């Protein structure tokens, strides 16, 4: 559901709809479109801020939020235009870089070997008295 809410919020802002911070705009629209709770929409909006796709423009209003606006960042505008993103790959999703399957699997294949060695080392050092050297 979160993915659907995120897409709804980005689409709403991407089409130039009213970006006011109040729940009556982006939050209500995404809530009505997806059927999720307003709390889930707020959570999704803040996730988009953390990922750098949205930011809040205070419009010079330091003391209140009445005139604050949700804004798409440069990356957010790119995402709205292209429709996809992978927030955990900050270098890859703006450029469309693909990672081949072999590269992605290498860490998964060598991890068990290193974990086994770490386990053996931990067991070895756990059996030694404090301050002893090998």
Q: What is the mean pLDDT of the chain?
A: 77
State residue 104's pLDDT score: 63
pTM, to two decimals: 0.59
| SS3 (DSSP) at 72 | strand
CB 14 within 8 A of CB 20: no
Bridge partners, 54 (sequence order): 72
Q: Count of CB atoms within 10 A of residue 64's CB? A: 9
CB 56 within 8 A of CB 18: no
Q: 71-79 contacts: CB < 8 A, separation 24 or more?
A: 71/13, 71/19, 72/10, 72/13, 72/14, 76/10, 76/13, 76/48, 76/52, 77/14, 79/10, 79/53
Distance CA 50, CA 91 (A): 16
Q: Considering the domain delimited by 2-82, tell me its CATH architecture.
A: Orthogonal Bundle (1.10)
Please give the pLDDT value at position 17.
84
Mean pLDDT, 10 residues at a time, over the chain (134 residues)? 83 85 84 90 88 83 74 87 64 54 68 79 75 59
């Amino acid at each position: 559901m979160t993915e659907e809410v995120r897409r709804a919020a980005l689409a709403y802002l991407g089409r130039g709809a009213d970006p006011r911070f109040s729940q009556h705009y982006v939050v209500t629209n995404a809530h009505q479109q997806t059927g999720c709770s307003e709390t889930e929409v707020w959570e999704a909006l803040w996730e988009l801020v953390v990922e750098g796709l949205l930011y809040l423009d205070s419009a010079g209003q330091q003391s209140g939020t009445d005139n604050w606006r949700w804004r798409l960042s440069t990356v957010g505008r790119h995402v709205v235009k292209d429709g996809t993103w992978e927030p955990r790959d900050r270098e890859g999703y703006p450029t469309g870089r693909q990672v081949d399957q072999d590269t992605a699997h290498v860490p998964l294949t060598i991890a068990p070997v290193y974990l086994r060695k770490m386990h053996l080392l931990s067991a070895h050092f756990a059996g030694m008295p404090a301050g002893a050297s090998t």
